Amino acid sequence: ALANEEKAIRRDWVFLSGGTDGRDGPTDAAGAIVDAGSTFRMRNFGPEPAVLLANNDSYAALATSGDLLMTGATGTNVADLQILLMQ
């Protein structure tokens, strides 16, 4: 198994995962935009992210880090989309 340092992405990156209708399942969030600092912000401002994610509570983890994408209803539902940008 690789150490966490060996698995880390060594470039700047940002990842968007969202629903075009402005909602992700039963929540009021369209999704989230995360980056390499997301887990740091989660740990700094809330519980251990692994605990929340083990409980399938990504909403609370992403709210803690400020990474939720809140757009409100868009009036369209084309599809969910995921975009990864790397520098």
Mean pLDDT score, 26-40: 92
Domain ranges of the chain: 37-70
- What's the pLDDT at 25? 76
The mean of the pLDDT values for the chain is: 87
- Of the pLDDT bands very low, low, confident and very high (cuts 50, 70, 90), residue 23 is confident
Per-residue model confidence as pLDDT tens digits over 38-61: 989 998 987 788 898 899 999 999
Q: Give CA–CA dist 62/69, Å, rounded.
A: 9
Mean pLDDT score, 6-10: 69
Q: Give CA–CA dist 51/8, Å, rounded.
A: 20
